[in-house]
Each structure stands twice: as C-alpha cells, then as structure tokens.
Amino acid sequence: MQDDRISIQHNPDPAGIARTPQDFLRQLDGPTLIVVDGEDNDRCRALSTLLHGNELSGLRALHGWLRRGERPRVRMLLFILSVSTALADPLFSHRQLPGERDINRCFRPPFGDRPGRVAEQLLELLEEYKPECMIDIHNTTGMNPAFGVATHEDPAHEALVALFTRRLIITDIRLGALMEISRPEFPVVTIECGGNRDPAADRLAVQGVLRYLQQDEVLQLPAAGLHLDLYHHPVRLELSPETEIRFADEPDPDADITVPRHLERYNFGQVGAGTFLFWLGPRGRSRLRLRDASGAMCCRNTSTASATASMRPSRSSFSWSPTIP
C-alpha cells in the first residue's frame, strides 16, 4: 500500500466494489482520489471523507453510493485519504496513526512528513481539476448534533452547509485544516455529521451527500430564504500534554480534570455563568488554556468552567468535543 501518494481511480465499476466499507478500503492502494464523471463534465465538485480514521459516516455514505452506480450531476472528485489509519488495529479506532500529525492540521506548510505530503498532493489535485466547491465530512468524538464549520459567512458557504444541517460555526481560528483553503470563489466547508457511534449521523451523511451529488445548484440559498443558527468566534479550550484526565461521576483525586459523563448534554445549549462543568484537581488550573483566534489567552482560569467556553456574539453556547473538526 502506497501511504504517501494519492492514487487516482476513474469511474470504478460498481460490481467490483466490496460489500463492506472495511473491505472497500482494503481494495484501495492507500490515499485515493476517485473521479466519477457526471451529466455535466464541464463542472466539477470535490468531497473529502475519512481524513480521520475513526470518523466513518462520510465513508459509509460514499461507499453505498458508489455501489449503486448512480451518476452525479457534475464530475465529482472523491477523496478518501486516511486508509491505513482506518485499517490499523483496532479497526476504525485511530484518529491518526501513533506518532504522526493529524492530517487535518497539515494543509499549510511545512509538508515534509507523510501526512504533509498527502495533504500537499490533495491541494495540487484541486489546483489541477479546479472544482467549484468542496465539502469535508467528519464526525465528532462526542455526541454532538450535526453542524457545519466555515471560515467565511456568505450565501455560498451557508448553502453548502444547509445541504446537511442548520447549525453553522463561523470560525476565525486557523489550525491548518482543509476548510481553511476556502475563498469566496472556491467555498470549502466542514460538515460534522454527529457522533462517530451515532446511527443518525450515518443517515444524515447519506442524505446530505445525495443532495450534494445530485442537485444542479448547491451554492445558492433558496429564494424564500433559510433559517440557520449561526455561531461566531469560537474559542479553544486546550489541555497541556501532561494533563491527567478522567471521565467519572465524582472527582478522581489523582486526576487534573475529571469530566462527568453527562457533560455532553450541554452541547449547543445555553450555559449560564457559574454552571458546573467539570472538577479540577490541584494542578488543574495550570493545565487549562482558553485561546481565541489570535492564540491569546481570552480569560482567566477558574475552578469551574462556565459560559466563558462559549461562542460569541450570536448566542451563549457550549460544545464539548476533544477535537473540532
């Protein structure tokens, strides 16, 4: 398996595609671009899935669609990159391979390591094919509702997200993620379909992918308008690498941070100041950093996290997930 080069397939025979997603991945020669001709090959769209090896909703939707042999409205570029990560033991359990960078932090220089080389090739292929837009499909580790993430707030980005969900985070944080290559003439959005163990996330991915593949126009909002819940200026709650974290319903005396199992109930909900979120041990405060887009500390640590872990100014909200996106 070539792990640092993107292989290209054209119009694969549906009858030759394996029955299960894992066997389908074993048929691929490492990171892969599948090009499928459409009804209008003068136009082109791109879709990426499985940047992380434990986020399968997009892969399952794409695998099912390829097996049905349907023809898309326009030519499609279908990127499936973290094949070896997904197939590493235990199956579908690794976000990235141990010791490697997260590939969704590699879409800006340097490109010197294996994930960086794969990311750079994807960027070169986009430059070659010049798609009109791109969607990158993910799952969250926690039980979140579906939401989109974009770096631009305009009708094209909103229309892409609305194919899947009515929640949209407009972020000014830059980490080297794929969606950060977006620009007004080439909108790119991330779709978080929901939790990576949630069957509803798989269903949402199937429905959204079909709209993206079949609709003639995906960059225009309906003439009657569309309601979206918009969240602006997210901040990152970061933990230092040496942090000892536990998930339990009572504080662990050996942990820096103990997270109660019910914390996810606050995701995308209203969180008032002073709301208890988790316990901090004696070293807990020194392990936490809450940073804004500039990288600056945006508040002081306190003994309980509260609505400072929110998105502003659209509404006060909280979302707990170890990584987004």
| 302 — pLDDT class (breaks 50, 70, 90) | very low
The tokens describing 217, both together, are: 């126009």
pLDDT averaged over every residue in the chain: 89
Question: How many percent of the chain have pLDDT more than 70?
Answer: 90
Q: Identify which of 307, 23, 259, 306 has the alpha carbon closest to the alpha carbon of residue 141.
A: 259
**Predicted local confidence at residue 320, as pLDDT:** 45
How many whole angstroms separate alpha carbon 88 and alpha carbon 96? 10
CA distances, 224 to each of 47, 159, 293 (Å): 27, 13, 34
Residues facing residue 267 across a β-bridge:
318
| All domains in the chain, ordered by first residue | 7-220 (3.40.630.10), 234-325 (no CATH)
**Predicted local confidence at residue 2, as pLDDT:** 64
pLDDT in tens, 229-250: 999 988 888 889 999 999 999 9
How many whole angstroms separate alpha carbon 46 and alpha carbon 146? 20
How many whole angstroms separate alpha carbon 130 and alpha carbon 127? 5
pLDDT of 205 over the 90 cut? yes
Reduce the DSSP state of residue 313 to 3 states and report it: coil
The tokens describing 179, both together, are: 């969606």
Nearby residues of 278 by Cβ (< 8 Å), 6 or more positions away: 257, 258, 259, 260, 263, 304, 305
Give the torsion through C-alpha atoms of 121, 123, 126, 132, to 10 deg.
160
Average pLDDT over residues 284-291: 88
The tokens describing 58, both together, are: 């997009």
pLDDT in tens, 260-287: 988 888 888 778 888 888 999 999 989 9
